[in-house]
Chain A
């Protein structure tokens, strides 16, 4: 990378996107956006023990099981991705 590129807005964005998972971009589609939100939500539930407890109460499961279920759901949080449109 040349010194001048460092201040280029695009390279800065790329840097952000690489560093911070979930940083959006202009061509982000609905599915990608939703997947991101869902993964963030599950990570937040897992991180906040009282919320895990709240879910565990509602579903009558153990907190350990709830945590595992949320982790598992991070794989495909919004179902299968849509077919890519060929352009």
Chain B
């Protein structure tokens, strides 16, 4: 089996983020306050750290990347080509995330003169950055600052103006602790803050200064210096923030704690951002609970620090990185869930400071803690968010709603930010207006009054016997003074020349001049106009019977008949491309006929109406569109690529046919086709980000547009539309107006470039698993959280709090619904302290909360929710039909009571609950509860019985560790062990016994498993690999033929394992922890692929190849691409589609070179890539 692996939805979790002027940020907030992802690159590696720097006097920032490649890479953002250019790449060590290979930490000198790259242990390298005569960035060879047996916690560059660059590091020496059996040395182990000085004169790094620092230290933040401030660093430690500098006494303040925090827990700063202005600077430090504190330093003229003040700022979901933008925004990259952009409302200037170094109280038990209460956002205002699926906990692909394509149901997020997200392939749209019309419209157009107008002036709607004209202003209303004929249906309405309007109706052409004069052209005889194609200068009409008449605007603005042409039969459709800039006319006319052909005719005066080329197609064309595609390859501006014209044809069999038109000869080449839907696609031109794009209306609408230099054809998640036109008004710059049924709809298309759009249904706790109840179309979701309070307890605590503080008085008398709000079920806007924003209060770590929820996905309504009592938490769920069939389909839920992981895994007891569905599947009723010894992590129905994987046993003790998955097929049971990969079992009914007949020889730490076929299972392990395990055919046959089913052999045993071994037939490194696998097809008629979802929130698919030829082609295209995908096991039989899809972004020369090596043209390769993508989605 050969597979093609393709990431469908990129990982949405942010590992690290920096902001800077790469002439602009990569996440750029636009004027409307929306965040736009400017650029993303797949690196085929693991990025661990990022830092940006700027050379003195320069305007542009560079980006340094620390990764698992054993290299230091410096990138520059190339605005013109919209891509990162690699400036330097310095190899310093082995690849892989290793303990002593640098890459984990990066620090840059604030003046951009040096960069330090450090490892978790021992190694630190410093590179000197400089500029050569041509102002290009240069980099030195590395200078070592290694120290053995030293663990490094954090590194930062000290701001010391233009003195020698200094880097600070928090270090811990473990050499003595490893040798002292009494534990004294370990207890005495002390973290140190060490300054490393780079002597630019001597080109040498030395340890300049080292002083003990609080043992909880975990993060360093640079304090502005060199005239702007006192310099030095803030050391963030558990519970404290300490200012330290060489020759300066420590200034320490305690980080305020939430009142309700258990005493055993510390407060750790997890992310930090610095805001610098000319005269002022402050730091925003975020704790692990989401609270942001503003830290300010009182200093005397940039010398001595007198006081360190910590003031509570606001609370936002815990971030992995925060960036303060100069424009007054804060970008918060959340650890889990959606990222957000906040606008500063104020900077928290009040004098009421929670903690300060001057009020620090030291008692016998240590420093006195300071408490505070979180409050609603005061200083920040959220203005936009970036959707993130991270983490995907479980996923199922199914067509529950009976739509054209299946939906992907994912459980995402954790704790209070958990959600069920229903993903549909396609772009999201936002509906601006829907209005009912009198009758069923057949077509709609928008038209400007003048070519220089920014917005459209009229919406013209055609009915079977009339035309309705609506003018666009403050409101949209019907008008009768537009000059359009309203007693006839219309065939086309458009702007002609500079400022005149044209209406084509079956009996003629009405040309409305700017001054109100009307010229009418009537059809000869009894003929009627059937089809029209036009642009601003040219009009071609087709009369019944197949006659074509060509008009052109002359200099006086008159529409003049130029040429006639008789076609062999009736014309099915025609189109003229827009007039190219700087030209008089467009050269080509495309005509589709009912004899399954499309002809390209010339409109040049020399050979007017000559047929240039003919293309036969599989079915009569319904609609044609000539689309100029700039930058089909390469950079976003497409500067170095000539535009090419594509002829698009919607055929009556639902296929969209695309072919390239040669700009000179009109010859057609390089055809591609794609099935869009059951209705013949109608094609319309639209504008997307200022460029021409294509709307295709079949049984669902599609959009063809250019995104990041690539042409994409993506479905829109919207209902079937009849006719559409682009729409532009001051409320909506790039919209679409469309008719469907009796309604006129205006909408805009959002989040371009994404593969899926999502519907979000919030949940209460971290979702673990879910099942579909197929008959009732309900979902049953189990949710559980460790170390949290139940909804009731939180409710009571809040009440107490509100009564105590009196917040409840001012307009928040909704205490009654707090429980629901707490669950995030209703709009949390009203809730003064929504858990979604503030996180659940922490309880002691062995306290669990959990619930079982029945949800109707169509309405998003929870029909029943059972909160488990007594510290029980649900971990597995399945539906089961027992032998006796007394209750029909039942629900089995595996739970654990009082589960503890640390210091040692322990529990009070495990249970299996059996529930019956009541109220037509909307509710649950407990039938009984069975106690078991361990945690039932896996449940599965098998031949009318329930199989439960409970710790290392499954009715008998065959399995090495903990069972995490069970699948069954016919009489086989496929068991996944958490640490020891798969075991294939059989069940002997007569002896009521299970035995293992095959297992895997590789110790896989399984995180997800899915059954593929009788002999094969797919699995994913903790280290980010996907593999397929298959029982060899002969062994499988032997077992099936053996009357004992291989039991005798099993009894004899073999080296403590099963007698047979499965083979791993596929290996692939995803680089992300895969949490769920499913075999499914995402498009009707598409190939079945293996779909996976990951912790970082990406979705991907692996498609089996159907022909050997394709395998050869793609493996040659992929060339030597091994290292990353073989990070743990050598990659086997998988083509990295993400790599292949980089082909279009290569330079044309390189593309041609690669294509030559494959004996193909670049066009063929692009087509092949498009084809295989279309098979998946």
- Interface of A, secondary structure class, is helix
Of the listed stretches B97-105, B298-306, B743-751, B979-987, chain A binds: B97-105
A66 CB to nearest chain B CB (Å):
10
Do residues B1095 and A44 form an inter-chain contact, with CB atoms below 8 A?
A: no
- Complex: how many Å from CA A47 to CA B724? 51
A42 CB to nearest chain B CB (Å):
8
Do residues B268 and A53 form an inter-chain contact, with CB atoms below 8 A?
A: no
B270 touches which of A35, A64, A82 (Cβ 8 Å): A64
Do residues B15 and A47 form an inter-chain contact, with CB atoms below 8 A?
A: no
Do residues A35 and B178 form an inter-chain contact, with CB atoms below 8 A?
A: yes
What mask results when residues 20 to 32 of chain A are scored 1 for a CB within 8 Å of chain B, else 0?
A: 1110000000001
B1053 at the interface (CB under 8 A from A): no
Do residues A49 and B46 form an inter-chain contact, with CB atoms below 8 A?
A: yes
What mask results when residues 389 to 414 of chain B are scored 1 for a CB within 8 Å of chain A, else 0?
A: 01101000000000000000000001
Total number of A residues with any Cβ neighbor in B under 8 Å? 39
B contact residues around A65 at 8 Å (CB): 268, 270, 288
Of the listed stretches B133-141, B180-188, B618-626, B1083-1091, chain A binds: B180-188
A16 at the interface (CB under 8 A from B): no
B532 at the interface (CB under 8 A from A): no
B1019 CB to nearest chain A CB (Å):
16
B100 touches which of A21, A35, A49, A59 (Cβ 8 Å): A21
What mask results when residues 526 to 550 of chain B are scored 1 for a CB within 8 Å of chain A, else 0?
A: 0000000000000000000000000
What mask results when residues 58 to 73 of chain A are scored 1 for a CB within 8 Å of chain B, else 0?
A: 1111111100100100
Q: Apart from A42-B120, A48-B1023, what are 4 other A-B pairs with CB-CB below 8 Å?
A: A40-B99, A47-B46, A53-B390, A80-B183
26 A-B residue pairs with Cβ-Cβ distance under 8 Å, sorted by A, are A18-B148, A21-B99, A21-B121, A21-B122, A22-B99, A39-B99, A43-B120, A47-B68, A47-B97, A48-B46, A50-B1071, A50-B1072, A50-B1095, A53-B1073, A57-B766, A57-B1095, A60-B787, A64-B268, A64-B270, A64-B318, A64-B335, A68-B218, A74-B120, A75-B186, A75-B189, A81-B181
A33 at the interface (CB under 8 A from B): no
Do residues A71 and B151 form an inter-chain contact, with CB atoms below 8 A?
A: yes
A21 touches which of B148, B415, B787, B1024 (Cβ 8 Å): B148
A61: nearest chain-B partner, CB-CB: B288
Do residues B151 and A74 form an inter-chain contact, with CB atoms below 8 A?
A: yes
Interface size class for chain B? 35 or more
A13 at the interface (CB under 8 A from B): no
Do residues A60 and B785 form an inter-chain contact, with CB atoms below 8 A?
A: yes
A54: nearest chain-B partner, CB-CB: B1073
Interface residues of B in 1090-1108 (CB under 8 A from A): 1094-1096
A76 and B335 contact, Cβ closer than 8 Å, known pairs A49-B1096, A64-B318: no
B786 at the interface (CB under 8 A from A): yes
Do residues A62 and B335 form an inter-chain contact, with CB atoms below 8 A?
A: yes
- Complex: how many Å from CA A68 to CA B785? 21
Do residues A81 and B180 form an inter-chain contact, with CB atoms below 8 A?
A: yes
B785 CB to nearest chain A CB (Å):
6
A20 touches which of B100, B182, B268 (Cβ 8 Å): B100
A43 touches which of B97, B901, B1095 (Cβ 8 Å): B97
Do residues B218 and A71 form an inter-chain contact, with CB atoms below 8 A?
A: yes
Do residues A54 and B186 form an inter-chain contact, with CB atoms below 8 A?
A: no
Do residues B172 and A75 form an inter-chain contact, with CB atoms below 8 A?
A: yes
- Complex: how many Å from CA A19 to CA B390? 39
A87 at the interface (CB under 8 A from B): no
B120 touches which of A32, A71, A75 (Cβ 8 Å): A71
**Which residue, of A49, A51, A65, A76, has the highest number of chain B Cβ atoms within 10 A?**
A49
B48 at the interface (CB under 8 A from A): yes
Do residues B271 and A53 form an inter-chain contact, with CB atoms below 8 A?
A: no
B153 touches which of A18, A32, A71 (Cβ 8 Å): A71
B67 CB to nearest chain A CB (Å):
10
> A-contacting residues of B (Cβ < 8 Å)?
13, 15, 46, 48, 68, 97-100, 103-104, 119-122, 148, 151, 153, 172, 174, 177-183, 186, 189, 218, 238, 268-271, 288-289, 318, 320, 335-336, 390-391, 393, 414-415, 766, 785-788, 901, 1007, 1022-1024, 1071-1073, 1094-1096
A contact residues around B238 at 8 Å (CB): 68
B contact residues around A61 at 8 Å (CB): 288
A48 and B183 contact, Cβ closer than 8 Å, known pairs A40-B99, A58-B901: no
Do residues B121 and A39 form an inter-chain contact, with CB atoms below 8 A?
A: yes
Do residues B178 and A49 form an inter-chain contact, with CB atoms below 8 A?
A: no
A65 CB to nearest chain B CB (Å):
5
A contact residues around B148 at 8 Å (CB): 18, 21
B739 CB to nearest chain A CB (Å):
47
A53 touches which of B174, B336, B785 (Cβ 8 Å): B336
B contact residues around A50 at 8 Å (CB): 13, 1024, 1071-1073, 1094-1096
- Complex: how many Å from CA A82 to CA B48? 35
B contact residues around A53 at 8 Å (CB): 13, 335-336, 390-391, 1073, 1095-1096
- Complex: how many Å from CA A32 to CA B48? 28
Do residues A59 and B901 form an inter-chain contact, with CB atoms below 8 A?
A: yes
A63 and B270 contact, Cβ closer than 8 Å, known pairs A20-B100, A53-B390: yes
- Complex: how many Å from CA A25 to CA B553? 90
A45: nearest chain-B partner, CB-CB: B97
Do residues B15 and A49 form an inter-chain contact, with CB atoms below 8 A?
A: yes
- Complex: how many Å from CA A76 to CA B187? 10
* Nearest 9 pairs of A and B residues by beta carbon: A64-B270, A47-B97, A43-B99, A62-B288, A60-B786, A43-B120, A54-B1073, A50-B1072, A49-B15
A51 CB to nearest chain B CB (Å):
6
B104 touches which of A46, A51, A84 (Cβ 8 Å): A46
B401 CB to nearest chain A CB (Å):
29
A contact residues around B182 at 8 Å (CB): 80
**Which residue, of A18, A47, A68, A80, has the highest number of chain B Cβ atoms within 10 A?**
A47
A86 at the interface (CB under 8 A from B): no
A contact residues around B181 at 8 Å (CB): 80-84
A18 CB to nearest chain B CB (Å):
8
A20: nearest chain-B partner, CB-CB: B100
A contact residues around B336 at 8 Å (CB): 53, 57
A11 CB to nearest chain B CB (Å):
18
- Complex: how many Å from CA A51 to CA B100? 19
Do residues A74 and B174 form an inter-chain contact, with CB atoms below 8 A?
A: yes
**Which residue, of B178, B269, B1007, has the highest number of chain A Cβ atoms within 10 A?**
B178
Do residues B151 and A48 form an inter-chain contact, with CB atoms below 8 A?
A: no
- Complex: how many Å from CA A87 to CA B971? 61
B288 touches which of A49, A64, A74 (Cβ 8 Å): A64
A contact residues around B786 at 8 Å (CB): 59-60
A48 touches which of B99, B415, B1024 (Cβ 8 Å): B1024
Do residues B335 and A63 form an inter-chain contact, with CB atoms below 8 A?
A: yes
- Complex: how many Å from CA A56 to CA B313? 25
B391 touches which of A42, A48, A57, A74 (Cβ 8 Å): A57
A82: nearest chain-B partner, CB-CB: B181
A78 CB to nearest chain B CB (Å):
10
**Which residue, of A18, A32, A59, has the highest number of chain B Cβ atoms within 10 A?**
A59
A40: nearest chain-B partner, CB-CB: B99
A contact residues around B788 at 8 Å (CB): 60
A contact residues around B785 at 8 Å (CB): 60
A47 and B151 contact, Cβ closer than 8 Å, known pairs A60-B785, A80-B186: no
Do residues B1024 and A43 form an inter-chain contact, with CB atoms below 8 A?
A: no
B contact residues around A80 at 8 Å (CB): 180-183, 186
- Complex: how many Å from CA A76 to CA B1007? 28
A contact residues around B391 at 8 Å (CB): 53-54, 57
A contact residues around B320 at 8 Å (CB): 63-64
Do residues A51 and B13 form an inter-chain contact, with CB atoms below 8 A?
A: no
- Complex: how many Å from CA A57 to CA B1022? 13
B contact residues around A40 at 8 Å (CB): 98-99
B1086 CB to nearest chain A CB (Å):
28
Do residues A46 and B120 form an inter-chain contact, with CB atoms below 8 A?
A: yes
Do residues B271 and A75 form an inter-chain contact, with CB atoms below 8 A?
A: no
B848: nearest chain-A partner, CB-CB: A60
Do residues A54 and B787 form an inter-chain contact, with CB atoms below 8 A?
A: no
**Which residue, of B99, B151, B180, B766, has the highest number of chain A Cβ atoms within 10 A?**
B99
